[in-house]
Structure 1
Amino acid sequence: MPGTEVTVHVNRGTATPLEATSDALETSDSFALLLEGHETPAHVHCRLAGDLEGVASIGETNYYVEPDSVTAVPVTVTTDGLDRPVDGDLEVVTGYGSESISIAVTAVPGPPNVDVDESLAEPARSEPDPTTLERLIGPVATAGGFDPGTLVVLALGLVAIGIATVTTATIGGPIATAGLGVVAGGVLVALVLLLR
């Protein structure tokens, strides 16, 4: 749960100098405690309690919170190797210990790590399956000794010549006949290049 935050209002002018926006948090990742200052500055002490101390840590424990400012307290949680949830409290204390609140924190096992090797960055190359092409063309491919790809081009060339012939017979004229010649020549060039 990257980006998880818990906010504690400090000296907001209410009966209690500390107010948390949430009294419980469940996470499998590090999170931020935001100390939001209001009317008067305050010294705030943060600490972890319970089993949470075994999987979490706070870099600094004492903070000076100024009015109308937000102080971020990073809480590092390491759930690697956890097989069960770990419970504890994040305690925020001010007024030299006279005022405090506790936020229940449960560290849950994170998603399993996935090993990624360098081959994942290489694009996958898919080679055509020769058996698929042979099934499509049938025994003609092996009987004539031609490559299946050559036979496919030959078949498409014959279809193109057939369409050009029908078009020439229907329309007639020198332009249609020239078109038939261009199509036949193109098929012939393609076959010569394939059989090289």
Structure 2
Amino acid sequence: MSPTEVTVHVNRGSADALEPASTALETDGSFRLSLAGHESPAHVHCRLHGDLERIASLDGTNYYVEPDSVTAVPIAVDADAIEQPVDGRLEVLTGYGSESVTIDVTVVPGPPDVDIDESLAEPVRSEPEPTPLERAIDQVTAVSGLGSGTLAVLALGVVALGIGAVTAASIGGPVATAGLAIVVAGVVVALFLLLQ
């Protein structure tokens, strides 16, 4: 429940008149009594009755209500102290007690407190499990001290050397051997540049 308000109109239509906007209120915490002044000023007295007195309190009991203005009366309620609904009454009086209205108030227990662990404030970053290939690359990178880009070029060079060697062996001849030599030279130059 959100903070609640109950309104009582004072001196609307005649002197010493009290007119509540509602005669009952249910809340799970503190609420406010709004005394809405009308034609003439008034002195208003407020008090609590029943079990409501046990868990609620008023800042003051006597209020001066100006015409065409609203006087707010905060009513503090300790709903944490109860486990079952508590019933009581809020009485509003004016004209030295000649006029009064009663508002039935029911205070229900508030929602239970939730203990929040500090670890809930930290974002959880879920990273997917690495694939076997990614784990192997990470291990080789850690052992060799080479970066993953260097290892990728090295692997590509090994594949190129393999293809060149198979091609030179199957075709044969000086042209195939010269092609294999060019591939080997390219891989060596690439490794030299990467390791600098």
Instruction: Normalising by structure 1, report the TM-score.
Output: 0.66
Match of 2:130 in 1: 133
In structure 2, what is the Cα distance between the partners aligned to 1:112 and 1:48? 26
Q: Which runs of 5+ in 2 are unaligned?
A: 142-147, 157-189
Give how far 1:3 is off: 3.3
Match of 1:94 in 2: 94
Q: Which runs of 5+ in 1 are unaligned?
A: 159-187
Q: Spell out, residue by residue over 1:73-108, the C-alpha distance to the aligned partner (whole angstroms, 9 max, x if none).
A: 000011113211000000001111111000000000
Q: Aligned pair 1:7/2:7, yes or no?
A: yes
Match of 1:59 in 2: 59
Give how far 1:16 is off: 7.0
In structure 2, what is the Cα distance between the partners aligned to 1:125 and 1:115? 19
- After superposition, residues 1-196 of structure 1 pair within 5 angstroms as 1-14=1-14, 17-121=17-121, 123-126=122-125, 128-129=127-128, 132-134=129-131, 139-141=132-134, 145-147=136-138
- 1:72 match: secondary structure: strand
- 2:13 match: secondary structure: coil
Q: Spell out, residue by residue over 1:137-194, the C-alpha distance to the aligned partner (whole angstroms, 9 max, x if none).
A: xx5456xx3228959x96xxx9xxxxxxxxxxxxxxxxxxxxxxxxxxxxx99xx69x
- Return the index of the structure with the highest Cα Rg: 2
Residues 33 and 75 of structure 2 are in contact (CA less than 8 Å); yes or no, is this contact kept in structure 1?
Answer: yes
CA RMSD in angstroms, aligned pairs only: 3.0
Instruction: Normalising by structure 2, report the TM-score.
Output: 0.66
* Identity of matched residues, %: 60
Give how far 1:117 is off: 4.8
Count of residues in Structure 1 that have an aligned counterpart in Structure 2:
149
Gap change, CA 1:146 and 1:10, over 3 Å in 2: same
- 2:130 match: secondary structure: helix
